[in-house]
Structure formats: C-alpha cells, structure tokens
Amino acid sequence: MLLITLTASAGDLREFEAVEPHMGTLFRIKLYAADEQHAAAAFRTAFDRVRELDASLSDYKADSELNRIVVTAVGHPAGVSEDLFHVLATSQKLAEETGGAFDVTLGPVIRLWREARKNNRLPDKLALEEAGKRCGYRKLHLDKANRSVTLDQAGMQLDLGGIAKGYAADMALGTLKRLGIHRALIAASGDLAFGDPPPGQCGWKIGVDSAILELRNAAVSTSGDSEQRLDAGGKLYSHIIDPISRMGLTSRITVTIVSPNGALSDGIATAVSVLGAQPGMEIVERMDAVAALIVATEAGMRNRTESTRFSRLTRNCVPDPHKR
C-alpha cells in the first residue's frame, strides 16, 4: 500500500490518500481522519474488502466464485455469496432495462475478443458464432429466496468487467463508514464512489469533460474512453461488446453516468455505450436518480449531450452542514 499523507486539514480532521493495485487497476482512496493511525487501519480494511471481492467476482482468477458457478450451477441451483448475488441481480435488472445491451453472460465472446487484442487480429467469425450460442442473459436465473443461481447451459461464462469495479468502490466506501469514516472517495480508474464531502465543502470536485461536478454520496463511472482497443485494418474495436453483433464497438463514444451507487453507474455506463447516444439517453431519462453526459464523435463531428439531471448537477451543490 502506498500511503500519501496530504497536507490539507480542516478542524481536527486531516486528509489522507492511499493507492493499491486491485482488479487489474489502481484503487485510490482519499479520506478524512483524525490521525494517521486511524487512516492507515481504515485503508487496510477497505483494500482487503476489495481484494475479497476480486476473489469472488473475477473472471481472470480460475478459482473465483464466479468461475466456479459456471460449472456448479448448470441445470440446477447453486448457492452464492451475498456479493455475487447482489452484483448478478443488479446486472440482470440492467439487462432487462437496456434490452440486453448490458449482458454479463457475454463471457465466451469477451474471451475471444481479449485473445484477439493480444494477437492483434480480429476473432474468427465461426468461433464468435459458436461462442454466441453460449451467451444470453435469459439463460441466467436468480432465486432471491434461496440466494442461488441456475444456468441453462454448459459452457457459459460470466464476465462482470462492466460492473464489478463500481460495486467494489461502493463496498470500500461502506467499509470506511462502518469504521466511522464518512468523508471519503474511492477511485478505481473510470469508476468513482463518493461519501460525505470534505469538511466545510459541498461536495468532492471532479472534472467531467468541460463540466465541474461537486458530488457527495453518489458515484460516477465513465465508459468507452479506453486504450483497450483492437486496431484491425485501421478500424478500432472497443473492449465493450455489442451483444447483438458480438463485435467490439466501433462507434466513438464516451459515456459518463452519475447515480446513487457505483454498481449502477458502472453498469449503466457500459450499457449506454452499447446503445449509442440517442437510445442510451432515452433510457437514462427514464431511470430514477441517474444522470448522463455522452460525447459521441461521428465523421469528425463531436456531439455532446447532457441529460436533464446532469445539467442540474452542474449547477446545484447545496452546502453540507459542517459535521464530522
């Protein structure tokens, strides 16, 4: 853990920052605590929670809970952890709400694209077709009462790459809260979760495109703006997959979502990237407490759209009463 002690202090609280690699990226935590000892203990507990989540939700780790259920849950229910159930339930709700644009059962196709990026060549058409037959969110069933998962078919693979980091940011924030640290932010590359603001401030300031947002008790995710692209004959294919064509997105789109929690923001940002600017924005406008900024570039033309709620966010930040 890299611990950075920041000079900022407000009243009897000081600002601390720490960074650790998790889930294939760097997790950064900023928090306000009375002293370094309290801060260091809180960082350790929060990072450990993220590590625990990775062990359950990772599609890279062969022995993760996620990779085990694709064997044990075929044809009959398999009990899962609260974390995995919650992430899958949020994913399935998003799949329904986005007409399947968000689909965590795309694992077989996503793996082919990952291989393709490594080899710098497009996935084989027949292989994609075959992999596609093992995908489809309707083949994944959840039973809330028994906290279990059933998969319709052998050979399915689940991939939570579009939602797990946002969920982990939420959980890290929750861990800090339970330790009495309410003023904190978690940043995992494009996925950020904010608790109460720094003392005396209205929110945590972040820059999104040209807008400055001041946020508290909210989460922001940005999708689409990635270095993870495959360049095939001058055409760039994103690591985000369109479930219908099974192809990496070729549209140039960056989606930023603000919502009450990280799992939602993360998932919706990925889904809206698939849907495209206009249909994506229509869905966002229908969702409760969700705001979006979409920047799409087509034929050299940059098109920037804000949802109604996003425009309000850039104007309103009501000061928070100074509390510990």
The residues binding Mg ion (CB under 5 A) are 162, 223, 266, 269-270
Residue among 13 and 230 whose Cβ is closer to ligand AMP: 230
Residue among 219 and 269 whose Cβ is closer to Mg ion: 269
Establish if 197 lies at the interface with ligand AMP (CB under 6 A). no
- C-alpha pair distances (Å), 47 with each of 25, 27, 65, 136, 265: 13, 8, 19, 33, 21
Residue 106 site contact among ligand AMP, Mg ion, none (CB < 5 to 8 Å, cut-off depends on kind): ligand AMP
Of the candidates 90, 59, 52, 84, the one whose C-alpha atom is nearest the C-alpha of residue 270 is 90
Residues 6+ apart with CB under 8 A from 38: 181
Establish if 88 lies at the interface with ligand AMP (CB under 6 A). no
Establish if 266 lies at the interface with ligand AMP (CB under 6 A). yes
Per-residue binding string, ligand AMP, 105-124, x by CB under 6 A, is -x---x--------------
* Least distance between ligand AMP and beta carbon 97 (Å): 13
Among residues 159, 170, 196, 306, the one that binds ligand AMP under rule CB under 6 A: 159
The alpha-helical segments, DSSP class H, found in the chain are 36-57, 65-72, 82-97, 107-119, 125-132, 164-178, 262-275, 277-286, 308-313
> Which residue is at the shortest CB distance from ligand AMP?
161
Establish if 104 lies at the interface with ligand AMP (CB under 6 A). yes
- C-alpha pair distances (Å), 310 with each of 30, 83, 184, 278, 294: 24, 29, 22, 15, 10
Start-to-end CA distance of the chain, whole Å, equals: 26
Establish if 170 lies at the interface with ligand AMP (CB under 6 A). no
Among residues 274, 290, 291, 296, the one that binds ligand AMP under rule CB under 6 A: 274
The alpha-helical segments, DSSP class H, found in 158-261 are 164-178
State whether residue 73 is helix, strand or coil.
coil
* Least distance between ligand AMP and beta carbon 321 (Å): 34
Q: Which stretch binds ligand AMP (CB under 6 A): 11-19, 142-150, 238-246, 280-288?
A: 238-246
Establish if 30 lies at the interface with ligand AMP (CB under 6 A). no
Structure token pair of residue 48: 């450990």
Among residues 53, 270, 281, 313, the one that binds ligand AMP under rule CB under 6 A: 270
DSSP per residue, 86-104: HHHHHHHHHHHHTTTSS-G
